[in-house]
C-alpha cells in the first residue's frame, strides 16, 4: 500500500501528516518544539522545482510506504492520473490524502512568505504557529486514513 499525503507545496501540512502517520512525531500529545519540527524531512525546504515530485517519507508500523507531494492546485488531476486514467485500475494500491483541508490561513501566509518570497526568518514563525493550529485536524485525518487502510 502506498499512502501519499499531498498539499499545495508538499512542505508543511503533508509533511506533518506523514510524520504523524509514521510515528516520527507521536500521534498524541503536544506537537514538538520548532527546532524538532525543522528536523523533519522536507519541512519548509521544498521550492517550486520540487512540485510534482513524489518524495518518500518513511514506512508506517505496518510497512506501508508513506510519501509527501506538492501538487500546487492540481488535486483533481493528481487523483485522475494516480487512480488510473480512463478508469483503469491503478498499478498498485494508492491512497491519496489531501492535507489542504487542515491548513489554516496563518499556515498559508507563513508558507508563502517562507517558501515563495524566501523570507524564512519572517515566514517560519507563522508556519510553526499554523502547524500547531492544524495539528489536531491533521491527527484526525491520519486517524481516518489508518482506519481506512486497516479495513481495506
Domain chopping of the chain, boundaries: 2-102+135-151
Decide if 30 contacts 65 (C-beta within 8 A).
Answer: no
Looking at residue 82, what is its pLDDT? 62
pLDDT of residue 151: 86
CA distances from residue 70 to 41, 47, 85 in whole angstroms, order as listed: 14, 9, 20
What CA dihedral angle connects 149, 66, 35 and 13, to 10 degrees? -70
Task: Look over the chain and give the mean of its residue pLDDT values, rounded to a whole number.
Answer: 87
pLDDT of 77 higher than 70: no
pLDDT digits (tens, 9 = 90+) for 20-36: 999 999 888 788 888 88
State the Cα–Cα distance between residues 79 and 129, nearest whole angstrom.
Answer: 30
C-alpha pair distances (Å), 43 with each of 4, 52, 100, 128: 16, 16, 15, 10
Amino acid at each position: 500500500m502506498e499512502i501519499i499525503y499531498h498539499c499545495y507545496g508538499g512542505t508543511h501540512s503533508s509533511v506533518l501528516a506523514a510524520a504523524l502517520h509514521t510515528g516520527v512525531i507521536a500521534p498524541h500529545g503536544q506537537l514538538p518544539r520548532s527546532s524538532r519540527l525543522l528536523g523533519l524531512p522536507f519541512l519548509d525546504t521544498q521550492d517550486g522545482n520540487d512540485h510534482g515530485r513524489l518524495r518518500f517519507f518513511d514506512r508506517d508500523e505496518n510497512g506501508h510506504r508513506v510519501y509527501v507531494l506538492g501538487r500546487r492546485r492540481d488535486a483533481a488531476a493528481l487523483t485522475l492520473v494516480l487512480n488510473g486514467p480512463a478508469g483503469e485500475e491503478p498499478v498498485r494500491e494508492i491512497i491519496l490524502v489531501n492535507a489542504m483541508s487542515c491548513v489554516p490561513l496563518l499556515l498559508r501566509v507563513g508558507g508563502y512568505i517562507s517558501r515563495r518570497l524566501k523570507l524564512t526568518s519572517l515566514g517560519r514563525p507563522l508556519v510553526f504557529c499554523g502547524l500547531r493550529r492544524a495539528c489536531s485536524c491533521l491527527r484526525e485525518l491520519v486517524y481516518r486514513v489508518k482506519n481506512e487502510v486497516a479495513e481495506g
